[in-house]
Amino acid sequence: MAERAFISRMTLNRVEKGDSGVSLGIYATVLFVLGMTDRLAELADPRHDAVGLSLEGERLPQRIRIRPVRRVEHKGDA
């Protein structure tokens, strides 16, 4: 498989161990060779990021105030 992914056997071994020092491009190439590119799309999908969604929810305003609409009177209106 290393040959099909154009990487060394040592790099493939690091990928198999989940080494964080391996570039994301290498992981993407290995997933492509395995026919698992849909997994890469899932990884990048923010809907699957519970921590990110939680942090984003904390940044939302707690309360939204709606200002009343002011009517503008035109000349000639009675």
Tens digits of pLDDT across the chain (78 residues): 999 999 999 999 999 999 999 999 999 999 999 999 888 888 778 888 888 888 888 888 777 778 888 777 777 655
- Within 1-78, residue ranges assigned H as helices are 9-17, 24-33, 37-44, 50-59
In this prediction, residue 57 carries a pLDDT of 84
pTM of the model: 0.56
